[in-house]
């Protein structure tokens, strides 16, 4: 297993691991594609006037516009989608009371994820070995997904009004664990948001590199503390850390 940086044995022992969720524990693109289709099918049946004026693509484009117009919405994807639907329903003459129902339809579908094959086996073992938590920019509900019992702490961007890679959100998660950042490792798939963000916050940044990709030239300045190809590799990395301390 390649490592981009030598193991730093001077750091304190790792007391907890924080996980990104989307594209780290499950692939997110097929989930969102399906959830948006489920939502639009519901709209065709229950808010037909909206379906006549809007499409999945046009609503997606409008959400992008809203994020540019209202940067705070970047930290609350639920509020972003609710705002987009509210605009569409109002413009189509459909009662705004239906927006909340539409959001429930989307949310149920959004939480129907397919875990990567190693997660069901490794996550329970990891949670028995070390304290774990989650830190996400997304809107997944670990309770609905069925994983909440394994996580001591769950932090989402919408709770704090800021997103990764802002050090504040990493520090908030460490505070929730009652640990210093140097005692916490962060596992995520995104080099800039997850690895670099965690490292700038004083944490260990582990790259969940399931596709075994190489670091793009424009991100070559980012040096993950270690590459992980699966959660099995995380278990091995913890063993290595234990032997080194």
pLDDT at 8 over 50: no
Q: Which pLDDT value is given to residue 7?
A: 43
Q: Encode pLDDT of 18-36 as tens digits.
A: 999 999 999 999 999 999 9
Residue in the block written with tokens 């693109």: 29
**Does residue 244 have a pLDDT over 80?**
no
Average pLDDT over residues 48-76: 96
- Give the per-residue pLDDT at 241: 81
pLDDT of residue 90: 98
Q: β-pairing, 16-19 with 184-188?
A: parallel
Query: Where residue 242 falls among pLDDT bands split at 50, 70, 90?
Result: confident
| Cα–Cα nearest to 198, from 133, 144, 149 | 133
**pLDDT-derived band at 1, boundaries 50, 70, 90:** very low
pLDDT-above-90 percentage for the chain: 92
Model pTM? 0.91
Output the pLDDT for position 22.
98
Does pLDDT of 173 surpass 50? yes
Residue predicted with more confidence, 65 or 240: 65
Q: What separation in angstroms does the CA of 60 have from each of 55, 122, 177?
A: 8, 35, 36
If you average pLDDT over residues 187-199, what whole number do you get?
A: 98
Of 201, 179, 177, nearest to 188 by C-alpha is 201
Whether 240 shows a pLDDT value over 90: the answer reads no
Q: Is the pLDDT of residue 177 over 80?
A: yes
In tens, the pLDDT along 122-140 reads: 999 999 999 999 999 999 9
Own/partner pairs, 201-207, CB within 8 angstroms, 24+ separation: 201/167, 201/170, 201/171, 201/174, 202/167, 203/18, 203/170, 203/174, 204/11, 204/14, 206/234, 206/237, 207/4
Mean pLDDT to the nearest integer, 152-181:
96
Task: Please give the pLDDT value at position 10.
Answer: 59
Domains and CATH numbers, the chain: 16-27+114-244 (3.40.50.1000), 29-110 (1.20.120.1600)
Q: Is the pLDDT of residue 66 over 80?
A: yes
Computed over every residue of the chain, the mean pLDDT equals 94
């Amino acid at each position: 297993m390649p490592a981009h940086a030598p193991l730093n044995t001077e750091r304190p022992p790792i007391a907890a691991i924080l996980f990104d969720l989307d594209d780290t524990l499950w692939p997110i693109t097929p989930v969102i594609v399906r959830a948006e289709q489920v939502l639009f099918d519901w709209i065709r049946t229950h808010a037909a006037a909206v379906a006549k004026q809007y499409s999945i693509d046009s609503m997606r484009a409008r959400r992008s516009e809203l994020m540019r117009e209202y940067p705070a919405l970047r930290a609350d994807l639920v509020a972003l989608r609710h705002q987009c639907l509210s605009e569409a329903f109002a413009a189509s003459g459909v009662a705004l009371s239906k927006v909340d129902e539409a959001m429930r339809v989307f949310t149920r579908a959004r939480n129907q994820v397919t875990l990567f094959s190693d997660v069901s086996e490794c996550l329970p073992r990891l949670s028995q070995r070390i304290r774990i938590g989650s830190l996400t920019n997304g809107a997944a509900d670990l309770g609905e997904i069925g994983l909440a019992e394994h996580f001591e702490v769950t932090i989402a961007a919408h709770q704090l009004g800021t997103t990764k890679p802002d050090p504040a959100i990493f520090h908030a998660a460490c505070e929730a664990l009652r640990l210093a950042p140097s005692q916490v490792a962060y596992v995520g798939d995104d080099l800039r948001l997850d690895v670099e963000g965690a490292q700038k916050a004083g944490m260990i940044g582990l790259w969940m590199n399931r596709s075994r990709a190489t670091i793009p030239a424009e991100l070559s300045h980012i040096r993950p503390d270690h590459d992980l190809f699966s959660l099995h590799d995380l278990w091995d990395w913890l063993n290595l850390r234990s032997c080194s301390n």
